[in-house]
Each structure stands twice: as C-alpha cells, then as structure tokens.
Amino acid sequence: MPDKKIAFLASESHVAENARRHLAMEYGNVPVEKADVIVALGGDGFMLQTLHGMQHLDIPIYGMNCGTVGFLMNEYHEPGLQERLANAAEEVINPLKMRAISNDGKVHVALAINEVSLLRAGPQAAKLRISVDGRVRLDELVCDGALLSTPAGSTAYNYSAHGPILPIGSDVLALTAMAAFRPRRWRGALLPSTAHVRFDVLQPSKRPVMADADSRSAGQVVSVEIQSEPEIAHRILFDPGHGLEERLIREQFV
C-alpha cells in the first residue's frame, strides 16, 4: 500500500513540539485538509482537543503519547510509523451533546467525548432533579455533582467518582454521582445510549452549579440536557491489541 499522507499536530509542550519536528522531517507533513491521517502528539487532553477541532473532517486520528496517562494514545515510537498506521485498528465513538441554560437565560451548547458533568459551584451541596426520557427518575439528589459518561470516557472522571467502566460498543451511558448525600451513597445508573437525560438545578441561587463538557464550561446553570449525537463520528486509530476495548478491560484488573 502507498504511504499515507500525514498531518502532524502537537500540543504546546516542548516534548510534543520536538517530536513533531522530528517526525515531520522523517515522514513529511501536509495540511490536515490534504491528509489521509492526522497524528496527534500530546496527552489525552490534546487528543480530545484534536478530535473536537477536526470533527468536520472525515479523517482518522492516531495519537502518540507525549503526555502523562495517554489512555487515548498509542506509545511514542518514531521508527515504522507508516507500518503502524497501515496496521492500526479503528474505533468509532459518538460524542454527547450538552444543552445547558444559565440563570440569565443564555443557552450553552457543547459536545463531549468523555463526559458531561455538573459540579457544585459554592460551599453547599448541589440539589438536582434527574429525568430520563421525560420521566422524573430522582426527585432530589443532594451531592457534590453528577456526570453522564460515554464508554470512551468511563475510565476518566467517571471512574474516579467510582462509576463503572463500560465496554466499547456496549451502547450504554454511565450516570454517576459525586459524593452523594441523599439518597445516601447513591451509586448512579446505567442508561441506554439513546437516553435523553435532563438535570434541573434546585435552589440555583443558594446552591449554584456549573456544567462542563470536556472542559467547555457554563456557569450558574438551571437546567442541563444531554443526549448522544449519532450524526458525529470520531475515528480513532490504535495499534493492534491496544485498542479501547482492550484498555477498558485491562483497567479493571489493575
């Protein structure tokens, strides 16, 4: 097979930028619009940034870890990149769409590949009402926050909040509470990927809440609606045997 045309993108770190220069000299570097594949150099945060920024292009993205955890990345090696790209396995993930309304009536729309989270923004615990597909499922959740996670994001904030790890392709979302006080120690729920989830903030003036979708934040929210966005498909490449499904399984045995 002919060599792929590569567009190298790097985070602002010295390590990532230095890697980009070396790789561009070795393999060439084309504009993203002319590329067969995008190689993202950085950590998971930069990978999410790249996926969001390139979602208008139907181009797969292959990450190489120049950061810390690198859950969405492959190991960094300069030799044999074309062979690795030719043999890479592709995972397709759909983001969540957040529609949040602030107390001033402003509407905030954002996409999240990992999770949408609601967090208390003051000294008192948040009070949230949770509805699923138009039906109230929890009249009042008193907590530090709550989140809705995709399978791809289930090992991130969701896992830190003691939520479940979800297999890729499970068509399930994880609804997880952070430090739930009432109902006591409520651990959340598993929902179908087609679910429409709504959070209503109770006593928003006394108990302010912020919403966040992959670091895109909205303050002083009074309601947040979340659902999967099947029209957007992110294509991520992984080395054979190191794809998301394998990583999600491996995380449960460490």
Measured distance CA(212)–CA(147) in Å, rounded: 9
What tokens does 98 get? 């957040």
Strands (E), 60-213: 61-65, 89-93, 96-102, 107-112, 115-120, 126-132, 135-143, 145-149, 172-178, 189-192, 197-202, 209-213
Among all chains, which residue has been given the structure tokens 């003051």? 122
- The verdict on whether omega for the bond into residue 183 sits within 30 degrees of 0, i.e. cis, is yes
Amino acid 179 reads A
Active site residue 44: yes
Measured distance CA(47)–CA(242) in Å, rounded: 16
Cα of first residue to Cα of last residue in the chain, in angstroms, is 38
Q: Each residue of 121-138: b (16+ CB within 10 Å) or e? A: beeebbbbbbbbeeeeeb
Task: Please tell me whether residue 25 adopts helix, strand or coil conformation.
Answer: helix
Task: Please tell me whether residue 245 adopts helix, strand or coil conformation.
Answer: helix
- Of 44, 104, 133, 200, the active-site residue reads 44
Other C-beta atoms closer than 10 Å to the C-beta of 229 total 14
* Residues with active-site annotation: 44
